[in-house]
């Protein structure tokens, strides 16, 4: 009986990991300085694609940014 080829990702992806919609690889977390409406927030955690360098926030990171902005007012 011949072996069936399985469709497996080329690299191991952790369960629940966020994936780059363009490159289909796992995003990794970095810290950046982020400016929003003239306000600079230091050491904000953000996700970056190791291939295309696209950056995005996870839902938890979005909430953390919103919380920091609320605490400044």
Tell me the average confidence (pLDDT) per consecutive run of 10 residues in the chain, 73 residues long: 43 76 94 88 94 94 89 74
Residue 55 sits in which domain range? Answer: 28-72
Answer whether residue 4 is part of any domain.
Answer: no
The distance from CA 64 to its chain's CA centroid, rounded to whole angstroms, is 14
pTM (global) more than 0.75: no
Q: Is residue 1 part of a domain?
A: no
DSSP helix/strand/coil, 53: coil
Has residue 14 been placed in a domain? no
**Contact yes or no for 68/61 (Cβ under 8 A):** no
CA distance 44 to 30: 8
DSSP structure class, residue 11: S
Looking at the 3D structure of the chain, how many domains does it have?
1
């Amino acid at each position: 009986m011949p072996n069936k080829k399985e469709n497996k990702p080329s690299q191991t992806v952790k369960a629940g990991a966020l994936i780059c919609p363009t490159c289909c690889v796992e995003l990794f977390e970095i810290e950046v300085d982020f400016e929003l409406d003239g306000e600079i927030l230091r050491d904000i955690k953000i996700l970056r694609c190791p291939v295309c360098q696209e950056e995005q926030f996870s839902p938890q990171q979005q909430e953390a940014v919103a919380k920091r902005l609320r605490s400044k007012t």
